[in-house]
Amino acid sequence: MGVKKPLATCALAAILGGLWVPVQATAGDAAAFEASMKAALAAQKAASSVGGEWRDTGEMIKGAQEAAKAGDYDKAITLAEHARRQGELGYKQALAEKDAGLPTYLKQ
């Protein structure tokens, strides 16, 4: 009787331990996210500074922050990376368009 209970409890804990895969953030994940977020915010700021920010970038950044808070660093990093690319593309676009003027089809 005395042996069976702790044995059963250990077994149960082991089973539960094996079945339960927590989204456990490691220090490495958090650091990777911080780096991604920093880059995303910088890219957003750059795009905004030249009037080239895209509509959904801010929402992506918010989503990334929320995912990180919930411990889902995979999702958080994916969103942050997407936001960073949006910022970079928006910045590039604004610079490419800075001399925009009368298009050729108007002159025909």
Contact between 62 and other proteins by CB under 8 A: the answer reads no
Contact between 65 and other proteins by CB under 8 A: the answer reads no
CA 30/CA 22 separation, integer angstroms:
15
Among 43, 48, 60, 79, binds other proteins (CB under 8 A): 48
Q: Is the C-alpha dihedral spanning 70, 72, 73, 77 positive or negative?
A: negative
CA 81/CA 33 separation, integer angstroms:
9
Contact between 74 and other proteins by CB under 8 A: the answer reads no
- Residues lying near other proteins in the complex (CB under 8 A): 48, 51-58, 82, 85-86, 89-90, 93-94, 96-107
